C-alpha cells in the first residue's frame, strides 16, 4: 500500500513538473515569436524550421545588442528565447544528452 501511494505521488509530481515545463515553453514561445506551441505543432516541417531559424536569428541579434549597448540588454529575455529554442529543438529531435 505504501509503495503504491509513493508511486502515485511520484507520478503526480512528474505530471505537474511536465505541465510547468509546457507552460513555460508556451510563455517563452509566445513572447519570443508571438506563436502558441500548438500552432507550431500544426505547422509543416518547413514552417517549423523557418520559425526555429527566426528565433535563432533573434537570439543572435539580442547577443549583439548586449555587446554593443549593455544598458539595453535584457538577460531574462535572452534566457527565455534560448529556452524556447531548446524546447522546440527537443520536441523535434528528442532530448539531447547532457554535456
Q: Provide the residue count of the chain.
A: 99
pLDDT at position 99 over 60: no
Q: What is the pLDDT of residues 28-42, one digit of tens each?
A: 777 777 766 677 677
Cell triple for 95: 532530448
Query: Whole-number mean pLDDT of the chain?
Result: 80
Higher-confidence position of 61 and 28: 61
Q: Is residue 98 part of a domain?
A: no
Average pLDDT over residues 41-54: 82
Cα-based distances in Å from 71 to 60, 66, 76, 81 = 17, 8, 13, 19
Q: Is residue 35 part of a domain?
A: yes
Cell triple for 57: 536569428
Q: What is the pTM of this model?
A: 0.62
SS (H, E, C) 17-58: HHHHHHHHHHHHHHHHHCCCHHHHHHCCHHHHHHHHHHHHHH
Q: Is residue 97 part of a domain?
A: no
Range of the domain at 80: 2-92
> For the chain, how many structural domains are there in total?
1
Please report the pLDDT score of residue 26 as a whole number. Answer: 73
Amino acid at each position: 500500500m505504501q509503495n503504491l501511494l509513493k508511486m502515485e505521488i511520484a507520478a503526480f509530481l512528474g505530471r505537474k513538473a511536465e505541465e510547468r515545463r509546457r507552460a513555460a515553453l508556451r510563455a517563452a514561445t509566445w513572447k519570443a515569436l508571438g506563436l502558441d506551441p500548438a500552432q507550431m505543432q500544426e505547422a509543416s516541417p518547413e514552417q517549423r524550421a523557418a520559425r526555429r531559424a527566426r528565433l535563432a536569428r533573434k537570439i543572435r541579434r539580442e547577443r549583439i545588442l548586449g555587446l554593443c549597448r549593455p544598458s539595453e540588454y535584457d538577460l531574462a529575455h535572452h534566457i527565455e528565447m534560448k529556452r524556447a529554442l531548446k524546447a522546440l529543438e527537443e520536441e523535434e529531435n528528442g532530448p539531447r544528452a547532457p554535456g
